[in-house]
């Protein structure tokens, strides 16, 4: 890079950080965030999930695919045949990391993922989660008792058409069951060959340490994005210290960072977005300042706001692997394009 380009990137970086500071409390760009970056062109014309990352000792593609929305949460459940085709397209483009949970549906997401991955089982990494009672066929309360974990695992193995789960997360911490007991149960399952790696989701630093002391935690999955930044207050530091990978869910803030919504958007009470603090009318007015800044930078660099936002997460640490969810083939290809965006050092 010549001196003129270096100067331009340096000035742009300072400008972005100064402007992000104006976007409101909680939206400040991190000290290593949003430096100048370049894009690498893919001569084949399609984005590919090039490169691998490590979640502890588990190797995965640099971007994963979240499969919750396939079973419906913010949208109706999708046809299985179409979702299987979408997952196959992701595999064809180099993506190897797929994330689901028994509670998605419940069970329907695992059924989709199981059918889609069966022909590729030895070439992909399969992650699912336990921690809610779904024995009635509906989502119940939290349940991480050892006997229930074993029951949940057998159901997941059956639906996923496999004999081993690559990454088995505690979906949410159960206040009635010590996390050491949960970790010990998963440790036994690993010894039995039914699970390869243990993960946690939405856990505090002390909980992570307590679980890790019993069974090594390979990955922590929690919400993290350019807007949702609480993970930077001790969580990521704990992961780095312990050698734990980090898997951001909601990396595009349910579409907010892609420009899907604006300050005039209003949600019906039945829409789950209406329950989110950063989707209230007051919050949207503030958050759209950052969204528009992202849009400006993305346009300047010739990428979409979604690609920019995903690439920013990947640039924070080499052990961060976002898992954007989608049910749309065009969005899948767009998301994979984030792998072709490279940030320079701050």
Residues forming a β-bridge with 167: 127, 197
Residues 6+ away with beta carbon under 8 Å from 205: 234, 235, 238
CA 252-258-260 angle, 5° bins:
110
104 is catalytic: yes
Pairing status of strand 97-99 against strand 125-130:
parallel
Pair 53, 319: CB distance under 8 Å: yes
| Catalytic hit among 104, 168, 169, 278 | 104
- The 10 Å CB-count burial string (b at 16+, else e) for 145-179 is beebbebbbebbbebbbbebbbbbbbbbbbeebeb
CA 67-92-306 angle, 5° bins:
55
What are the residue numbers of the active site?
104
């Amino acid at each position: 890079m010549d001196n003129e380009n270096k100067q331009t990137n340096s000035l742009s970086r300072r400008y972005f950080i100064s402007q992000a500071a104006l976007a409101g409390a909680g939206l400040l760009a991190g000290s290593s965030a949003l430096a100048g970056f370049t894009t690498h062109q893919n001569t084949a014309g399609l984005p590919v999930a090039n490169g691998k990352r490590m979640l502890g000792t588990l190797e995965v593609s640099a971007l994963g695919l979240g499969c919750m929305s396939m079973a419906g949460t913010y949208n109706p459940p999708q046809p299985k045949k179409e979702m299987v085709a979408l997952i196959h397209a992701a595999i064809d483009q180099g993506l190897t990391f797929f994330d689901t949970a028994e509670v998605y549906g419940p069970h329907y997401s695992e059924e989709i993922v199981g059918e889609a991955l069966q022909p590729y089982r030895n070439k992909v990494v399969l992650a699912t989660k336990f921690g809610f009672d779904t024995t009635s066929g509906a989502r119940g309360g939290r349940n991480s008792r050892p006997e229930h974990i074993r029951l949940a695992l057998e159901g997941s193995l059956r639906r996923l058409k496999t004999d081993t789960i690559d990454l088995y997360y505690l979906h949410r911490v159960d206040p009635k069951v010590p996390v050491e007991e949960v970790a010990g149960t998963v440790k036994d399952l690993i010894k039995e060959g039914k699970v390869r790696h243990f993960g946690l989701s939405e856990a505090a630093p002390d909980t992570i340490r307590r679980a890790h002391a019993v069974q090594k935690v390979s990955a922590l999955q929690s919400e993290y994005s350019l807007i949702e930044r609480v993970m930077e207050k001790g969580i990521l530091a704990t992961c780095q210290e312990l050698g734990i990978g980090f898997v951001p869910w909601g990396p595009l803030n349910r579409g907010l960072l892609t420009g899907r919504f604006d300050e005039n958007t209003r949600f019906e009470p039945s829409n789950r977005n209406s329950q989110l603090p950063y989707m209230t009318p007051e919050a949207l007015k503030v958050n759209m300042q950052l969204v528009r800044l992202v849009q400006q930078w993305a346009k300047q660099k010739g990428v979409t706001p979604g690609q920019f936002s995903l690439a920013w997460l990947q640039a924070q640490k080499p052990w961060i692997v976002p898992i954007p969810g989608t049910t749309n083939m065009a969005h899948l290809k767009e998301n994979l394009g984030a792998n072709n965006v490279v940030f320079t050092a701050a």
